[in-house]
Amino acid sequence: MKHIHLLLVAFALSSGSLLAQTTVAVQGTLKKTTDRTPVDFANVLLRHPADSSLVVGTTSDEHGAFRLEAPEGTFLLEVRALGYRPYHQTLTIAGALDLGELLLTEETKQLSAVQVTGRRPIMLRKADRLVFDATQIAPAAASALDVLRQTPGVNVTNSGISLIGKGGVIVLVNDKRVRLSGTALLSLLRSYPQSDLQEIQILTTPPAKYEAEGDAGVLNLVLKKAKNDFFGGSVTPGFGIKKLRPRYDLSTSFNYNQGKVTASLDLGAGTGLFDGDPRTYRTYPQQKTYYVSDTYYTGRDKYFNVRGALDYAFTPELTLGFSASYTPQQDSAHRENDSRDYSITSDGSYQLLRSLPGLAVNINHGRYISANAHMEKTFKGVPKRRLSWDVDYVGYRNREDRSFTSSGLTPQGTPIAGSDFRFNALTDQHIDSYIASLDYVEPLGKGTLGFGAKGSWTRISNSSDYDAASTMGEHHDKIRFDEQVYALYADFKHPLSETWSLRTGLRMEYTHTAGENNGRRLENLRSYINLFPTLFLGYNPNDRHAFSLSSTIRLNRPDFSLLSPFANYENQYTIMRGKEDLRAAKRARLALGYTFLGALNFQLNGGYLWDGITQVIRLDPATNRGSYTYENAEKTWLVGLENSYFFNKVSFFQTYISQRLWYNETKLDAHVSSLYGGSGLNYSFSMNNTFFFNRSKTLQGTCSIYYASPRYDDGGLRHSHSFTANAGLSYTLLDGKLRIAADAYNLIWTEPYININTPAYQMRVKNESNNTFCTLSMTYSFGASIEGKDERQSAKDLRSRM
């Protein structure tokens, strides 16, 4: 692999030198007129002025930069981008030419005194990612979390975020990783108002510069940038209700951008009531026993979030900045559990043996702290050359107090001696991470070569304490881990011809781990090196057809909470444990794609997961005690066909349809005593519709549906079929300053169940509650140019003279 990469770089260098003998470089950067943000994915064409025939063409990258290799002479430069007016300029090329910044004006139409800006498509498929326009995919959403709920292919649950049928992802905000999971991640995303979001990017084949974690890829939330010479912001109050339980959220943002200074401040807070009713059913055919556990819980959560950022441009090419955030959260829950043991009679009926009513109280306190210092250096003479440096600190604290008590009763309600079970427990987790990275991009002819280095140093401390009143006795356990990850990467991107393009990369990560368990050094931890290659090969014979071949290998490191091997009691029948020597799971993927007219997409893909981290369930038929232990036990083969279609040919309606058909085979390792898993053909379908009810498109409605067939997923567990339908309505007024939105989630829904079938037992579990809930939000955007009209006109006159 090393020799292949060296040959590719040598090929790029030699190609650039040969082209330089007969052509010269023409380069520049495309930016939006209003706020100087980059315009990506624009077509940059050089034409003969006599007959407008094409000489050479390219597209702008994510920074708006472009570079052409053109012969000397006089030509017509044409720039076209969706939602912008065409740009034309006559060029006389006598040598290398740097055009600097070219400003594109958004295409607008005047309708009934309301100015409507030309829209980007709701979805763009780029070389390594799918890009969804966050302002269109969920116009009635109140927060970033609500937008993700309606993003095709994204699954949002109480335990985190994943891609449906593909696995977990790491979450980034503006290309910076959010090192949170579970409810802490959901609270943070809830604090971002929908109005601050620009794009949702799903990177299934991320470049090598991104961390190798996230076995299904990377989910990147791109926030809107502040306008030049502007101070303003937005405020969004929100209200939600689910089963008559209210929720209140408030978020506000302030943005300042003038001269060399760009600053932002975001505040968010919320509180709400929640409930749920998980159920578990266990059947033991040989013992002819049946067990039911029915739980109903109610609780309240509350959170607060403050984020601030400051950037200072010392020169147009050099920017230094700092950002920080603080997110405390708290939730408390009261659980009532009704567990019952039955015998199965000869006629198949159930006879009650005993009941075990129980009460539990959980109180959880957590806080998340992050700080970042960064530098970015560009080079005026070479727009695509870029140097960036980042230093981060991430701290997470979580403390959970849990208590549980239950008593056994006969069918007649008489207490059973010796059946009482109780515990009072305290679990505590401390995580501190320090991260540093350096990235550099260098243009090579028509392509670019990027490389960089990254290091992270993390200490995790987990403790678990049960007091003397607990049935299992007093326990005090503590485990500490130190993890160091060092990475080197290289990314190479280059057009091989007018129709062929190549992007390849290699990331090397060295991981070192050490730790102590109750003062004892952990001897079974080890250090290791992993290589993660990526490849994307594109073929575009014309504007109608595009083909692609991509492959990648990624990993999924265990969540830090899963490394604690101490017993965590749910009740006397359910005991959960982590494992101190869990390895990272790895997944390899290969995909062949085809796109027609940029709207109809097909993708044939295959993958293999090994060392998959899964919760292995072992049930003892004699005692009905269940052990839930996280292990590297899963292996999965998968092959599938995906199809998506985007339609926007009429002015009043647009839709995005996605469907997936795949076959997978999931097995657990032979050392697992309770073997389960399986194979089968699976299908999923989603449709996201947007309706425009007036000509100015200020009144919009949305309707989305999702269906998935029964499938084997998540460690060999059999999931039941699922169906949900959502709807929303939004209205924008006061020249776009005020937006009122209402959403209804799970208007139609099915109960999700998980099933396990082995020769010794069958188990059926319902963990998630898909009850209908509704939200109502209002966003008011405010702000104005910092300079007065006279000053702005004077500045224009001065610039004209200069």
Higher pLDDT among residues 606 and 73, named by residue: 606
CA-to-CA separations, 746 to 113, 259, 276, in angstroms, rounded = 37, 47, 15
Most confident of 111-125, 183-197, 583-597: 583-597
All residues at 6 or more sequence positions from 800 whose CB lies less than 8 Å from its CB, including other chains: none
pLDDT band at 558 (very low <50, low <70, confident <90, very high): confident
CA-to-CA separations, 675 to 289, 369, 499, 575, 753, in angstroms, rounded = 21, 42, 50, 19, 19
Nearest to 566 by CA among 557, 576, 558: 576
- In 621-695, DSSP assigns E strands to 625-650, 653-668, 678-692
> pLDDT value at position 166?
61
> pLDDT value at position 181?
66
Nearest to 716 by CA among 761, 688, 676, 671: 676
Higher pLDDT among residues 105 and 727, named by residue: 727
Question: What share of the chain in percent tops pLDDT 90?
Answer: 29
pLDDT band at 183 (very low <50, low <70, confident <90, very high): low
Residue type, 573: Y
Q: What φ, ψ does residue 799 adopt, rounded to 5°?
A: -65, -35
> pLDDT value at position 705?
92
| DSSP letters spanning 47-90 | E-TTT--EEEEEE--TTSEEEEEE-SEEEEEEEE-TTB--EEEE
Whether residue 160 contacts residue 145, with contact meaning beta carbons closer than 8 Å, is answered with no
Neighbours of 664 (CB within 10 A): 20
Distance CA 447, CA 77 (A): 20
In this structure, the dihedral spanned by the alpha carbons of residues 518, 519, 520 and 523, taken in order and rounded to 10 degrees, is 100
Higher pLDDT among residues 184 and 649, named by residue: 649
pLDDT band at 599 (very low <50, low <70, confident <90, very high): confident
Give the mean pLDDT of 7-32.
Answer: 57
Higher pLDDT among residues 359 and 163, named by residue: 359
CA-to-CA separations, 159 to 156, 360, 577, 767, in angstroms, rounded = 8, 20, 17, 10
Mean pLDDT of the chain: 83
Higher pLDDT among residues 370 and 106, named by residue: 370
pLDDT band at 768 (very low <50, low <70, confident <90, very high): confident
pLDDT band at 736 (very low <50, low <70, confident <90, very high): confident
Residues in a beta bridge with 439: 388, 452
Q: Is the pLDDT of residue 148 over 50?
A: yes
Half-sphere exposure of 267 (CA within 13 A, CB side): 7
Distance CA 40, CA 680 (A): 41
Give the mean pLDDT of 321-334.
Answer: 92
> pLDDT value at position 85?
80
Q: What φ, ψ does residue 472 adopt, rounded to 5°?
A: -80, 0
Q: Which domains does the chain have, with CATH numbers?
A: 2-106 (2.60.40.10), 123-789 (2.40.170.20)
Task: Kindly state the greatest CA–CA separation across the chain.
Answer: 100
Q: Is the pLDDT of residue 334 over 80?
A: yes
Give the mean pLDDT of 670-689.
Answer: 79
Please state the three-class secondary structure of 258-306 as a single string: ECCEEEEEEEEEEEEEEEECCEEEEEECCCCEEEEEEEEEEEEEEEEEE
Give the mean pLDDT of 408-436.
Answer: 91
pLDDT band at 453 (very low <50, low <70, confident <90, very high): very high
pLDDT band at 107 (very low <50, low <70, confident <90, very high): low
> pLDDT value at position 215?
61
pLDDT band at 172 (very low <50, low <70, confident <90, very high): confident
Higher pLDDT among residues 788 and 577, named by residue: 577
> pLDDT value at position 121?
63
50, two tokens = 């006599």
Give the mean pLDDT of 128-156.
Answer: 76
Distance CA 9, CA 14 (A): 9
Q: Is the pLDDT of residue 51 over 80?
A: no
> pLDDT value at position 19?
36
Q: How far apart are the first and last CA of the chain?
A: 53
> pLDDT value at position 797?
37
> pLDDT value at position 469?
87
Higher pLDDT among residues 117 and 148, named by residue: 148
Q: Is the pLDDT of residue 430 over 90?
A: yes
pLDDT band at 791 (very low <50, low <70, confident <90, very high): very low
All residues at 6 or more sequence positions from 653 whose CB lies less than 8 Å from its CB, including other chains: 647, 689, 690, 691, 692
Higher pLDDT among residues 520 and 657, named by residue: 657
Distance CA 707, CA 725 (A): 9
Q: Is the pLDDT of residue 316 over 70?
A: yes
Residues in a beta bridge with 395: 369, 432
Distance CA 198, CA 134 (A): 5
Distance CA 275, CA 300 (A): 9
Q: What φ, ψ does residue 105 adopt, rounded to 5°?
A: -100, 135
Q: What angle do CA 700, 119, 193 make, to 5 degrees?
A: 60
> pLDDT value at position 127?
64
pLDDT band at 659 (very low <50, low <70, confident <90, very high): very high
253, two tokens = 């943002």
Q: Is the pLDDT of residue 156 over 80?
A: no
Q: What φ, ψ does residue 379 adopt, rounded to 5°?
A: -130, 120
pTM above 0.85, yes or no: no
> pLDDT value at position 441?
92
| DSSP letters spanning 725-782 | EEEEEEEEETTTTEEEEEEEEEEEE----EEEE-SS-EEEEE------EEEEEEEEEE
Report which DSSP code applies to 185.
H
**Regarding beta strands 625-650 and 600-620, do their DSSP bridges make them parallel or antiparallel, or are they unpaired?**
antiparallel
pLDDT band at 83 (very low <50, low <70, confident <90, very high): low
Residue type, 640: G
Distance CA 271, CA 267 (A): 14
